[in-house]
Amino acid sequence: KKKIAIMTSGGDSPGMNGVVRACVRMALHMGCDAYCIYEGYEGLVQGGNLIRKMEWYDVRGWLSEGGTLIGTARCMAFYEREGRLKAAKNMILNGIDALIICGGDGSLTGADKFRAEWPSLLEELVANGTFTAQEVHPFSHLNIVGLVGSIDNDLSGTDATIGCYSALARICHAVDLIEATAYSHSRAFVVEVMGRHCGWLALMAGVATGADFIFIPEKPSEDNWREEMCSIVEHHRKIGKRKTIVIIAEGALDREGNKITPTMVKDLLADKDGLGLDTRITTLGHVQRGGTAVAYDRMLGTLQGVEAVKAVLEATPDTKTCVITINENKIMRKPLMEAVLDTKKVAKAIERQDFEEAMALRDTE
C-alpha cells in the first residue's frame, strides 16, 4: 500500500487546510495510506508523533478553518544535509516514499533539494548502519509534488497561489472599514499591506478599493513621486472626495531602490505647507493572513490537492518534480524548479533596480 504524506511549510495561508483535507481524502480514495507531517520540515526532521496517520474523519470540517491545523514552521535543520538525513530516516521508518508539500518558494526549493539528494541520503543511511540495503530498497525513488500556499501571489508560473484571494478580500474589507472613519473626519490613511517582494496584493487592493495612490516594488513611481501623489490627492480633494487612501506594499521602493515607508508618505500628506491632511497610518499585518479562506481558495486548494495526489502517484524516476499551478482557469503541472527560479529572477531584478525587467517577468507569469 502506497503511503503518501502531506505537509504545510513556510508562512501559513488561508486554504492550506483545504489542501490537507483534499490530499488526505484523495489519497484514501486512491487506496493509499495518508499521513500528515506536523510543523513543516521540523516534523520530518524530528519524526515521532509529528508524523501521524490520517483517516477520512480526521480532516472533517477543515475547509472552513483558517491557518494550517497541522502547523507550519521555519526549520533551520532542513537547510543542512544532516537535517535532511534525519528526515530521510523518518520517512523510511514510517514507510513513506511520496510527499506533498504546500508552501512558498523556500519550501519548494527545500523539497527539490531533498529529492535530488535522496539516493545519496539512502546510501549514507545504509553506510552508517541505520538500515540495510534491503530495507531501503523499496524507497529507491522519492516522489515529491509541490503546491503553492502563499498570500503574496509571488510564485511565477501560476495565476494564483492558495491564500492570495483570501488576503486580498481581507485587505478590501479592512479598507472599507477605514474608509468609513476616513470619510467622517475627512482624513487620509496610509495602509501598508503584505506581499514581500511582490506588489500583487497592493495593486489588486488598489484597484478593488479605488485607492488614490499605490506603491509597489516592481514599478516604483517616477523620481517625482512625491509631487505626483500630492497632485493626484489634491485633485481628488478638489472634486469633493472626503477620504484619501494610499496603499503601500511592504516591499515598496523608489527608483533608487530605497524603501518607501508609510511614515514618509504620511509626513508628505500631512505637511502643513502642502496638503495638510489629518493623516493616519494603518499597518494591516497578520489580519491579512488570519481567518477562513474565501471560496476561491477553498476551491483552488481542493482541486490542486486532488491533482497533487494524482501527480505523486503518476511520477516516475524520469519526471521532474512538479508544482501544481492554475493557468487560465485550468489546473496544471509544471516543473517545480523552473517556477522557483523564475520567481527568484523577479526578486533579483528588483534588487538590482532593473524594474523594466521585473515588470516584464511579472507580465509573462
Binding status of residue 41 toward ligand ADP by CB under 6 A:
yes
C-alpha cell at 65: 478553518
Q: Which of 288, 294, 286 is nearest to 18 (CA)?
A: 294
Helix (H/G/I), strand (E/B), else coil: 34 = strand
DSSP SS3 for 214: strand
170 marked as part of a ligand binding site: no
C-alpha to C-alpha distance for 118 and 219, rounded to whole angstroms? 41
User: The C-alpha cell of 263 is what?
Assistant: 511614515
**Nearer to ligand ADP (CB atom), residue 154 or residue 307:** 154
Residue 212 is labelled as binding a ligand:
no
**Which one of residues 2, 3, 74, 310 is an interface residue with ligand ADP (CB under 6 A)?**
74
Q: How far is the CB of 12 from ligand ADP (least distance, A)?
A: 9
Burial class of residue 292, CB neighbours in 10 A (0-12, 13-18, 19+): middle
Alpha-carbon distances, residue 164 vs 12, 98, 150, 345 (angstroms): 11, 27, 6, 21
Q: Which is nearer to ligand ADP, 9 or 166 (CB)?
A: 9
Measured CA angle at 285 (ends 281, 287), to 5 deg: 115
Q: Which residue, 176 or 351, is less far from ligand ADP as judged by CB? A: 351
Q: Is 11 in the site for ligand ADP (CB under 6 A)?
A: yes
Candidates 73-81, 212-220, 232-240, 334-342 — which segment interacts with ligand ADP by CB under 6 A? Answer: 73-81
CA distance 297 to 58: 21
Residue 74, marked binder: yes
Is 107 annotated as ligand-binding? yes
Cell of 13: 495561508
Span of 8-16, 157-165, 258-266, 324-332 interacting with ligand ADP by CB under 6 A: 8-16
CA-based radius of gyration for the chain: 23
Element (H, E) at 45: helix 40-46
Binding-residue pattern over the window 76 to 115 for ligand ADP, x denoting contact by CB under 6 A: --xx-----------------------xxxxx-xx--x--
Smallest distance from the beta carbon of 60 to ligand ADP, in angstroms?
A: 27
- Helical (H) or strand (E) element with 21: helix 16-29
**Shortest spacing between CB 337 and ligand ADP, in angstroms:** 11
Answer for which of 8, 9, 68, 158 binds ligand ADP (CB under 6 A) is: 9
Is residue 166 part of an annotated ligand binding site?
A: no
Beta strands in the chain (DSSP E): 3-8, 33-37, 51-54, 98-103, 143-148, 188-193, 213-215, 244-249, 279-283, 322-327, 330-335
When the beta carbons of 12 and 97 are compared against ligand ADP, the nearer one is 12
- Annotated binding-site residue? 289: yes
Active site residues: 152
C-alpha cell at 302: 481542493
- Which is it for the CA torsion 164, 167, 171, 172, positive or negative? positive
Query: What pairing do the DSSP bridges indicate for beta strands 51-54 and 33-37?
Result: antiparallel
Any binding-site annotation on 81?
A: no
Calpha distance 139→207 (Å, rounded): 50
Annotated ligand binding at 242? The verdict is: no
How near is the Cβ of 243 to ligand ADP at its closest, in Å? Answer: 34
The residue number with the shortest CB distance to ligand ADP is 106
CB of 74 to ligand ADP, least distance (A): 4
Comparing CB distances to ligand ADP, the nearer of 79 and 225 is: 79
- The closest alpha carbon to 229, from 183, 167, 279, 195, belongs to 279
Q: Which residues are annotated as a binding site?
A: 11, 74-75, 104-107, 150-152, 187, 194-196, 250, 280, 286-289
Q: Which residues are annotated as a binding site for ATP?
A: 11, 74-75, 104-107
Interface residues with ligand ADP (CB under 6 A)? 9-11, 41, 74-75, 78-79, 103-107, 109-110, 113
Q: Which residues are annotated as a binding site for substrate?
A: 150-152, 187, 194-196, 250, 280, 286-289
